[in-house]
A = this chain, B = another copy of it.
Amino acid sequence: MVTLSEENYLKAIYHLGKQGTLSVSTNAIAEKVSSKASSVTDMIKKLADKNLANYTRYQGVSLTNEGRLAAALVIRKHRLWEVFLVNKLNFSWDEVHEVAEQLEHVKSLKLVNELDAFLEFPTHDPHGDPIPDKNGNHSPIKSISIFDIDAGNQGILSFVKDSTDVFLKYLNKNKLALGDTIKVLDFEPFDNSLTIETKSQKMIISKEVAQNLYLSI
């Protein structure tokens, strides 16, 4: 049995290294799960004992295949619940994360799979993140950051890298939503800002914002 706390560590390791394949540092994990390095060391040992993580002292951690699958299934639940909250319960995309953090730990295979079917097998969550399937696989993100797009080109906003509510609320305020067509009009070398255009408006966004908006072309 994997405990709630173990699931959160698995997620952290999965997200920090490329799906847990890269070795990640104790400190990075501590930061991610809001705990201390010493607590991480304790937990890592437990995960290694359960064959969920590969660990040798002072060398960082990565996930085993089993650990990677466990992590992906928690992430699958998290993202499915986010879709449910937005599509069925009138939550906005900046309100779902905290609740999904709780719902992702509910254990029932039937629940996940029926929820998946009820939502008509969504492939992405409300922030554009891909939803892993039953086997933990998902298509790689093929979108590209607006910051790396040349002036004159356009695409569809399909993923926001930062999904903290402060950033999402900025997007709400500025009427930018997933699915919007965005064209890059101009790049300003002085402060790295960009001028972009949507159906309804023309606006300037900072480098920080641009780096978190991903378009599919």
Contacts and interface: CB of A to CB of B under 8 A. Distances in A.
Given A106-B99, A107-B102, A118 B88 contact: yes
B99 A108 contact: yes
A89 B107 contact: no
A156 interface: no
A49 interface: no
B115 A89 contact: yes
Q: What's the interface size class on A, roughly?
A: 10 to 19
Interface string A61-77: 00000000000000000
A89 B114 CA distance: 5
Copies of the polypeptide in the assembly: 2
Contacts of A85: 111
A2 B94 CA distance: 25
A91 B110 contact: yes
A103 interface: yes
Nearest to A98: B108
A113 to B, nearest CB: 9
B102 A89 contact: no
A165 to B, nearest CB: 14
B103 A106 contact: yes
18 contacts: A85-B111, A88-B118, A89-B114, A90-B114, A91-B110, A91-B114, A95-B110, A98-B108, A99-B106, A99-B108, A99-B110, A99-B111, A102-B105, A102-B106, A102-B107, A102-B108, A103-B103, A103-B106
A108 B108 CA distance: 21
A10 to B, nearest CB: 19
